[in-house]
Structure 1
Amino acid sequence: MLRSWQFIQTVIGVIFRHPVTGATIIPILPDGRIVLVRRQDTGQWGLPGGIVDWGENIPTTVKRELAEETGLELLKIRRLVGVYSSPDRDPRIHSISVLVEAEVQGDLGAKDTLEISQVQAFFQEDLPLGNLSHDHDRQIQDYLNGLTVLA
């Protein structure tokens, strides 16, 4: 019984005292436009992405989150853009986000309408930079500057 309680305490400690891992995606359509999503909770634009589910790897998370938040199909992960781990990058929780650039295709449309209110594709010069959710302004700037970042 004591060992079971110690195990439970350890699991609770891991869950509540360690960052959550997620994936963030820079989806690139065949015409070069970048897809952003508008969040229901803040009304801000941002990159699609989310938490890695139990038993998933990053590519599986990228594929699932793209489908849920944008309606798009993942063709290929082009490159790792960065890993963002600052404790204040997400106002809700300490999270580590793995940012990837991805080739995508399909018709835009959020499946998860509780989280996402709108999906839109932007040419680089039309991106609504300056007030994106979380640290997505920095993530997009790092991507546009061709950087690979560990932050």
Structure 2
Amino acid sequence: MVQQLLHFWQTVLGVIFRHPVIGVSIIPILDDGRIILVKRRDNQQWSFPGGFVDWGETLAETVHRELEEETGLRVKQMGRLVGVYSAPDRDSRLHSICVAIEAQVEGDYRVQEAEILEIQAFLPDDVAQEKLSHDHDRQFQDYRQGKTALA
């Protein structure tokens, strides 16, 4: 009985920790065309808002929740799928698969979470000058080129 229980827990832990987690990046566009970026506390780099999908949540629900939690903004209209990014080294913390989605947003932005140092609206040409966290440079490049990437 103990051996079976031990085997069960090893299998559960293997499934949990040996599979990638799913997350979203939101490319938030204001009505004036500026793009919202958040400065991360962990590496002091700019990035798109986003985060991991919670259990029982759809990708669309995650987009709405993460955008509001991190910036105070609301999704006005979902835009296009920019890409799915799955390189094992795209996030130094763990293997994650990121779905990047463009969204028209509204509201007043403000820092709402401890993991965020700052929020700023950038013109697209100014975003291109920044070194973004994780693989968000690639996501932004694909967004600007109108691509839908599978990377």
Using structure 1 for the length normalisation, give the TM-score.
0.94
Kept in 1: contact 2:82–2:143 (CA 8 A)? yes
Shift of 1:9: 2.3
> What SS is found at the alignment partner of 1:53?
coil
Q: Please say if residues 46 and 130 of structure 2, whose CA atoms lie closer than 8 Å, have aligned partners that are also in contact.
A: no
Displacement after TM superposition at 1:4 (Å) = 4.6
Residue 131 of structure 1 aligns with an amino acid whose one-letter code is: K
Cα offsets for 1:35-75 (capped at 9, x unmatched): 00000111100111001011111011101110111110012
CA shift, 1:3, in A, is 5.1
Where does the alignment leave 5 or more consecutive residues of structure 1 unmatched?
Answer: none
1:26 is paired with a residue whose SS is strand
> Structure 1: how far apart are the matches of 2:96 and 2:81?
17
1:122 matched to which residue of 2? 122
Match for residue 39 of structure 1?
Answer: 40
Q: Distance in 1 between matches of 2:9 and 2:68?
A: 34
RMSD: 1.3
**What is the CA–CA distance in structure 2 between the aligned matches of 1:139 and 1:57, rounded to whole Å?**
21
1:1-150 mapped onto 2 (5 Å cutoff): 1=1, 4-112=5-113, 114-127=114-127, 129-150=129-150
30 and 14 in structure 1: CA distance in 2 versus 1, 3 angstrom threshold: same
Distance 1:54 1:7 in 2: 21
- Cα distance in 1 for partners of 2:47, 2:139 equals 10
Give how far 1:89 is off. Answer: 0.5
Using the TM superposition, give the Cα deviation of residue 29 of structure 1 relative to its aligned residue in structure 2, in angstroms: 0.7
- Kindly, what percent of the aligned residue pairs are identical? 59
For 2:55, the aligned partner's letter is W
Cα distance in structure 1, aligned partners of 2:10 and 2:83: 33
Contact 1:129-1:137 at 8 Å conserved across structures: no
Query: How many equivalent residue pairs?
Result: 150
- Deviation for aligned residue 1:130: 4.5
Gaps of 5+ in 2: none
User: Are the equivalent residues in 2 in contact too, given 1:34–1:122 (CA < 8 A)?
Assistant: yes
